[in-house]
Amino acid sequence: MSSNTPDQSFYPKIEISLNKISHNTELVVRMCRRHGIRVVGVTKVCCGHISIANAMVDGGIDIIGDSRLENLKRLNEIRLPKLLLRLPMISQAGDVVEYADISLNSEIETIRALSEAAQLKNKTHEIILMFDLGDLREGIFTFDELFRVVEETLKLKRILITGIGTNLTCYGGVIPTKENLTRLVAHKKMIESNFDILLSIVSGGNSSSLHLLEENAMPDGINQLRLGESILLGYETAYRHRIKGTYDNCFRLITEIVEIKDKPSRPIGEIGLDAFGYTPQFAEKGIRKRAICAIGKQDIHPQDLVPEDKNITIIGSSSDHLILDITDCQSVYRIGSLISFNLTYGGILSSMTSEYVSKSFK
Ligand SMILES: *Cc1c(COP(=O)(O)O)cnc(C)c1O
């Protein structure tokens, strides 16, 4: 996949500062360690890019986490345990056992398939059982079911239940609190005493759980967090607070101008549906100086771009063209000039995934 080839230089280009990523990682890891929490560095946003994973390793993460097996395969040479974040597909059970040391699970059928695969490979596969505290994405929903899954799993060979975990905010927007995470810790204790086993990990969520550390409200017993966005963009994601001392510009997208013309702000003619099936709306602002950059929705959605030049406004985009209003800019832009943007989480995800965007490391 071309997103993993080394430095090439064509535009659009995403410029990645590995030093800034290491710096952010160090800060976040230090914050977690103070509370006895180990950090899974999540690399899925950058397609499991090895250089970015190594920058996180330099920053002190304990485990590599990714939602896609393809990405974990790329990171195979890194000598840290690998955690598969998305529930495994039964069809991939063999590769899960091969490339992930640990996986997050909620279905006994899948755990049985992992057990079979692990026996064939003479490996022991660790699992963290996911419990849904109300966000309504993945996870076992009742204590009764958790109890039954543990009971069944303990009969299986080559599977070790290392812990329980939860995921919040990503889907339902539910914010991690002292109350809901305390429930998770309580479930862990009940499972331990009922089955006379030890669960070493309680995985308390993603970057949206970090605010609990800042407020000193993380329940005792939570000892792992799985962090992507907070490392790569420098904020916790429940209330979108910046984490003090982090960089928010580890990633910059640089695009090239292919047209500059003065045009009216509203299209001329009868308005039908745009290329994506929507009826576009246009405010009347008179004649404006518009620039077209060679990038489009195939690579990134316009709402995920934040121009570094604050006098630029984004008008919109189609599959391959990004249209900007540069009327108010102090800088002089010409055909072939470059325009840079900061990126949201979604922007990093999609432009790292696009093979039409080159990746350049600083
Ligand atoms: C993506 C993901 C994470 C990391 O989330 P961030 O918001 O990037 O910190 C953690 N856990 C699971 C299960 C995920 O899918």
Whether the per-residue pLDDT at 308 is higher than 90: the answer is yes
Which protein residue's CA is at the shortest distance from atom 15 of ligand 1?
85
pLDDT at 1 over 70: no
At residue 351, does pLDDT exceed 80? yes
Mean pLDDT, residues 90-103 taken together: 98
pLDDT value of position 4:
47
Least confident residue range of 99-103, 240-244, 324-328, 329-333 = 240-244
Whether 29 contacts 210, CB under 8 Å: no
Residue ranges of E strands in 192-270: 201-203, 224-227, 251-264
The question of whether 362 is a catalytic residue gets the answer no
Q: Kindly list the protein residues whose Cβ atom lies closer than 6 A to any atom of ligand 1.
A: 42, 44, 67, 85, 104, 167, 206-207, 226-230, 237
Task: Give yes or no for residue 343 having a pLDDT over 50.
Answer: yes
Residue 3: per-residue pLDDT: 45
pTM score of the predicted model: 0.94
Q: Exactly one of 13, 44, 178, 362 is catalytic; which is it?
A: 44
Torsion angles phi and psi, residue 275, rounded to 5: -60, -20
Q: Which residue, 216, 219, 210, 215, is CA-closest to 240?
A: 210
DSSP characters over 8-51: ---SSEEEE-HHHHHHHHHHHHHHHHTTT-EEEEE-GGGTT-HH
Write the pLDDT tens digit of every residue in 130-147. 999 999 999 999 999 999
Residue 281: pLDDT band (50, 70, 90) is: confident
Work out the average pLDDT over 206-220: 96
pLDDT single digits (tens) 235-246: 999 998 999 999
Q: Higher confidence at residue 8 or residue 309?
A: 309
Is residue 2 pLDDT above 60, yes or no? no
Neighbouring CB atoms inside 10 A of 158's CB total 17
